[in-house]
Amino acid sequence: MDILNATQLIDTLAKGNEVAQAFIQSSPMWVQYWILFMTVVLAPSFLIALFKREARWVALAVFYSSIVTPWLIALAGPSKVWGLTHLAFWPMALAVIIPKLIREPIQGWYNRYLALVAGTMMVSLVFDAWDVYRFFTAG
């Protein structure tokens, strides 16, 4: 494996991002809508993270999975293995959100938002686990 300089690394990650966008655009329409829905649900966590602890965990999980995904694309190409990034980072956010939702009623905008985030992440993790399983078992 060759060592990349900074310019080569940035170029490789940019190409990985282009491959990801092309892969998403070639996916079935419902997948594109699901990705859009996840973006709309999870993006506010970056702003809310300035004020709320659980949102910081969501923002970090989304940030790290977004950073690692181009690396994975650069290594494995467009494939069902991308779900590994969600499987690696999102359970940590859920481990913070779910106990809060168990302790407190799902009332008020913030707890309702957290419930929506948790549901979105859990549904995505089911899809991701299935995709990763099929990738590694060639199914």
Tens-digit pLDDT string for the chain (139 aa) = 567 688 887 887 777 778 777 877 888 899 889 999 999 999 999 999 999 999 999 999 999 998 888 778 777 777 778 889 999 999 999 999 999 999 999 999 999 999 999 999 999 999 999 989 998 888 6
The residue to which tokens 């170029």 are assigned: 11
Structure token digits, residue 41: 């649900």
**Cα Rg of the chain (Å, integer):** 16
The CA-CA-CA angle for residues 74, 136, 92, to 5°, reads 75
How far is the CA of 82 from the CAs of 2, 22, 106, in angstroms? 23, 14, 32
Sign of the alpha-carbon torsion through 80, 1, 67, 8? negative
